[in-house]
Amino acid sequence: MSSTGKANTVLAAAVTFLLLTTCGAYFSFSRLQTTQRWVRHTLDVQHALDHFSTAFSRAGRLRAQYIDSGDPSFLSLQAEGAVNVRHALTDIRRLTADNVTQQANWENLSQITDRRLALMEQSIEGKRSGKMNADSQALINHELLAVADSTEAAVSVMEEEEQRLLSERQSREVVSFSVITGVLLTGLFLALVFFLIHHQMIMEQVSERSRAEAAQRNLSARLLNLQDEERRRFARELHDSVGQHLAAMKMGLSILQHRLPADPIVADCLKLSDDAMAETRTISHLLHPPLLDEVGLNSAIRWFVEGFANRSRIQVDLHVPDNGLRYEDSVELVLFRALQESLTNVHRHSGADHVDVALATDGNQITLTVRDYGKGISPDVLQSVKVNGMGGVGLAGMTERLREIGGQFQIKSSPSGTEIVAQAPARSRVVQPSESLPTPVQEVNR
């Protein structure tokens, strides 16, 4: 399996663990919520039992106060208390409907409640009618105490059952919470491990790709350097070999012309030899201008721009500082090639009749700007140029050359024209005064 396939497999495993963890957490949370609902339900039953006991105690106190004082105002309060007891008993039945044991306990509590309420009503009626004496009331009070004890015992049984259920359900809640925590931590840990493995694989792929791109850039730079060396060798061969042969041929033709001054064929051959020498010299200088090695970038730019303007009939406004600064050979060569490529593209594609060329140094950076006033580049073509460059050296080659020396290349275009900016580190060197160098015009005409 390829490294990409392995990385995708690890990523799929990490996502799968996350999904399984999510599902497990969902079911665990559902179980936890159910357990919590049962815990709240148990607490509600306990609250209802407490409310029942409180209501019964209040009803009993109001009965005793009426029996002792005979104040009829206690009757309505006692009747209200008895109703509250019935309501509390009904709530207990509703809340314990799901529990068979508690329903049996409720039946016992309901019977005791009916008996106790009936005794209270009998005591109150006897007091109100005056048919009961103190001894009869004492007997009823004695019986009420016994029934009250039975009520408390029945309520206590139900509370104990609810407390047992509460402890059991709280234990389940703790277990559910522990399960959720374990599922989440385990799933997240495994997913994190797989994500780290996936990240490591991706970083290895990125490193491998970076190494491949670096090797490709090194190869491209090597090819460009070999191309420059080949141009330099061809230029030297044209100048030293072909140029010398043409010069010797011209000398022979000149001698022949002295002997045959009226012969038109000799005159035509002499003119053709002059044209061939000039063309050979131009091609040699375009392949690798000797001015670039001898007097530097500024003079080479002036010479090339002058020749370009004469050949293309395009007006060029040149702004190059007139100083003795020299830059590293690689910087001068790259910027000169950028100028060549830019002006060639202007002549072939822009349709412009006016171009601005500027060379400026700002601190530790030298900038070459070529601005034409032609038809510009369409957005689609411009995007393609930026991504794919052009044929031969092209814009892609310019970009690669500048990157190799630590510079950068930018291209901007609009319907009003195109601007190309090449920036490189300005590691300059000063020409020694003792150096005696020919002027550009002398070099061209030599």
| pLDDT for position 107 | 92
| Whether 161 and 298 share a structural domain | no
| Whether 191 and 298 share a structural domain | no
Residue 17 CB partners (closer than 8 Å, separation 6+): 187, 190, 191, 194
| pLDDT for position 438 | 43
Is residue 282 included in any domain, yes or no? no
- Domain stop point among 202, 223, 242: 202
Q: Is there a contact between 321 and 298 (Cβ–Cβ < 8 Å)? A: yes
Determine what percent of the chain is predicted with pLDDT higher than 90.
9
| pLDDT for position 50 | 92
Task: Find the CATH number of the domain harbouring 366.
Answer: 3.30.565.10
For residue 356, give both structure tokens.
């601005």
Q: Is there a contact between 142 and 85 (Cβ–Cβ < 8 Å)? A: no
Is residue 252 included in any domain, yes or no? no
| pLDDT for position 435 | 44
Is residue 23 included in any domain, yes or no? yes
- Domain stop point among 148, 167, 202: 202
Q: Is there a contact between 126 and 136 (Cβ–Cβ < 8 Å)? A: yes
| pLDDT for position 12 | 80
Is residue 245 included in any domain, yes or no? no
Is residue 354 included in any domain, yes or no? yes
Is residue 161 included in any domain, yes or no? yes
242-251 pLDDT, tens per residue?
777 778 887 8
Is residue 126 included in any domain, yes or no? yes
Alpha-carbon Rg of the chain, whole angstroms?
53
| pLDDT for position 436 | 40
Task: Find the CATH number of the domain harbouring 9.
Answer: 1.20.1420
Residue 415 domain boundaries: 291-431
| Whether 24 and 160 share a structural domain | yes
| Whether 140 and 7 share a structural domain | yes
| pLDDT for position 111 | 92
Could you give the number of structural domains in the chain?
Answer: 2
In the chain, which stretches have pLDDT less than 70? 1-3, 217, 219-221, 224-225, 228, 235, 239, 284-286, 288, 291, 324, 384-395, 427-446
- What is 72-92 written as a DSSP string? THHHHHHHHHHHHHHHHHHHH
- Domain stop point among 174, 202, 230: 202
| pLDDT for position 434 | 41
